[in-house]
Chain A
Amino acid sequence: MNLLTPERYITTTDGDPAGKPDVRFLTWFFPVWYAVFGVIICVLTRVTPPPRPDVTTAGTVAFFTEHHLTIQIGFVLLLILLGGAPLTNGLVLYHMKRMSVGSVFGYGYIAAMSVGALPGFLLVGVCYLTATFRPDRDPELIGWLYDLGNLSYNGSLGCFTTAYVVLAIAVLYDKNGVFPKWFGYVTVWQVITEVIATQFFLFYSGPLAWNGVLSLWWAVVVFSVWLGALIFVLRAATIGEPVDSPGLD
């Protein structure tokens, strides 16, 4: 199995391309997009892991000054690639609609994730880009953008909690076995980390701040496990679908 093309990523055990062509394309797109997204958020823009909350206003200005080039490159790329989110969410919706519980959880998932795209993803990009747009802005305003960006990105909770709850319930109820049951349980862990994330809004430092070891770092580990599991089960689900099954209604 290799990731270079959809036809070589989604295959039967004999190596022939499997699944429906358009679903196969999106199943391949999913890990590719998340990989690029990972480079953007971790390496270029440095929002994951986030910078410290316990900095002075001068510290926030220094942060933006030091990283302004990679922030601008990273987030401009993100502005262009943001549309990958509807694609990846749509793929999950597709498989959720194949579950025996019907479509309602799928629609709930995609509705909740669509909400998350704006306050939970775009807003930090806009805030950071606005901060680097005029470096000579009043430092208090730059500090304001720093807080708004980091709190919104790390602290957007309800949308993702909702999405994970409906996904977990759908997987656990599903009799068609589209996703394995253990993935439903792994998704419940994601719900718990979102609940813990409520503590971000209360602390400037320590294990529960927005860069805290318990509330953020451990949660990033759990998220990585969940995402890896999701990529794995999506591939299996796409391969497992009979090519001649009818389209979504």
Chain B
Amino acid sequence: MQILQEVQDLPSAGNIKAQWVSLWTGPAVGAVLVVALLAFPGFWPPMSPTLTAEQVARYYAEHTDWIRFSQITFNLCGIMLLPFFMVIVVQMKRMKTQSHIFAYCYLTAIVSGATIFALSNVFFLVAAFRPDRNPELTLLLNDLAWIVFIAPIGMVLAQFLLLAAAVHFDDGPDPVFPRWVGAYSLATGVAITPAAGAAVWQTGPLAWDGLLSFWLRNGAFAAFVVVMFFVLRRAVLRQAVAEGVVAG
């Protein structure tokens, strides 16, 4: 994206630049998070909720370093996805036929959702901090870590529903996002909802290592980030052209 010389000092250009940088933090941070994801032994395969306290304690003792590395990376970089999501907030505020209330709700939902993710990292790290802790305590910490990681999908669900609602209400002549984004967002929200069951079931697809709660939930979320990168890229470019910041 090449900003035109004559407008490069204007606030509108600054706005586009800031959005562009925030947008690209998505893939940049995403790449780091993928590395951490592959490095976390607890995901390959996902740790079973049915492990006993001794098995969990042994797991943490055997894989301490990789658990620490990956969770520290998650904690450090997970929140760095916030700027990427803020581009969605900014674009929601550009929707013409609305009061923009959804954008502010979206912002709050993102903040709370990210905080919950950070909390799960802390639980994993505390569990890994003293591998010789009483196994019952390690089991408790591991339970808390997994339940907090997988089950509280409400904030994330709100994000998807809000985006779908915003797109639905943005039915004017020049919508910010294509209509299918709303349906896709809604579908992603539906896909992650069953994960709430991870706080109850120890086996089956709803358990935290199950098909729905682990694979579908995390896969759908990751896919959403990837898809939205391209959607946002187009939206920011269109905004840049419309505001005369970039040659159309």
Which A residues contact B (CB, under 8 angstroms)? 20-23, 25-26, 72, 75-87, 89-91, 93-94, 110, 113-114, 117-118, 122, 125-126, 129-130, 132-134, 137-138, 141, 145, 247-249
**By the criterion CB–CB under 8 Å, are A90 and B104 in contact?**
yes
Closest A residue by C-beta to B148:
A126
The number of chain B residues touching the other chain, given as a range, is 35 or more
A76 and B116 in contact (CB under 8 A), knowing A20-B99, A83-B157? no
Residues of A contacting B105 in the complex (Cβ-Cβ under 8 angstroms): 26, 86-87, 89-91
**By the criterion CB–CB under 8 Å, are A125 and B136 in contact?**
no
**By the criterion CB–CB under 8 Å, are A79 and B99 in contact?**
no
CB of B212 within 8 A of chain A? no
**By the criterion CB–CB under 8 Å, are A22 and B98 in contact?**
yes
Q: How far is the CA of A79 from the CA of B155 in the complex (A)?
A: 8
**By the criterion CB–CB under 8 Å, are A118 and B115 in contact?**
yes
Query: Can you report 25 A-B residue pairs in the complex whose CB atoms are below 8 A from each other?
Result: A21-B169, A22-B169, A26-B101, A72-B199, A76-B151, A78-B154, A80-B196, A82-B158, A84-B154, A85-B108, A86-B107, A86-B112, A86-B158, A89-B105, A90-B104, A113-B108, A125-B152, A130-B144, A133-B49, A133-B143, A133-B147, A141-B136, A247-B93, A248-B100, A249-B100
A114 and B108 in contact (CB under 8 A), knowing A76-B196, A80-B154, A84-B158? yes
**By the criterion CB–CB under 8 Å, are B140 and A141 in contact?**
yes
Residues of A contacting B197 in the complex (Cβ-Cβ under 8 angstroms): 76
Shortest CB distance B212–A (Å): 13
Residues of B contacting A91 in the complex (Cβ-Cβ under 8 angstroms): 101, 105
Residues of B contacting A90 in the complex (Cβ-Cβ under 8 angstroms): 101-102, 104-105, 108
Closest A residue by C-beta to B112:
A117
Contact with A along B137-149 (1 / 0, CB 8 A): 1011001100110
Residues of B contacting A133 in the complex (Cβ-Cβ under 8 angstroms): 49, 143, 147, 199-200, 202
Shortest CB distance B78–A (Å): 15
Residues of A contacting B109 in the complex (Cβ-Cβ under 8 angstroms): 83, 86
Which B residues contact A (CB, under 8 angstroms)? 49, 93, 96, 98-109, 111-112, 115-116, 119, 136-137, 139-140, 143-144, 147-148, 151-159, 161-162, 165-166, 169, 193, 196-197, 199-200, 202
A-B CB contacts (within 8 Å), total count: 142
**By the criterion CB–CB under 8 Å, are B158 and A248 in contact?**
no
Closest B residue by C-beta to A75:
B199
Residues of A contacting B96 in the complex (Cβ-Cβ under 8 angstroms): 247
Q: How far is the CA of A104 from the CA of B197 in the complex (A)?
A: 39
Closest B residue by C-beta to A246:
B99
Contact of A79 among B119, B153, B169 (CB under 8 A): B153
Q: How far is the CA of A137 from the CA of B53 in the complex (A)?
A: 10
**By the criterion CB–CB under 8 Å, are A22 and B165 in contact?**
yes
**By the criterion CB–CB under 8 Å, are A20 and B158 in contact?**
no
Residues of B contacting A126 in the complex (Cβ-Cβ under 8 angstroms): 144, 147-148, 151-152, 199
Q: How far is the CA of A134 from the CA of B151 in the complex (A)?
A: 16
**By the criterion CB–CB under 8 Å, are A114 and B112 in contact?**
yes
Residues of A contacting B104 in the complex (Cβ-Cβ under 8 angstroms): 90, 93-94, 110, 248
Other A-B contacts than A89-B108, A93-B104, A249-B100, 6 sampled, CB-CB below 8 A, are A83-B158, A90-B108, A94-B101, A110-B104, A130-B144, A134-B143
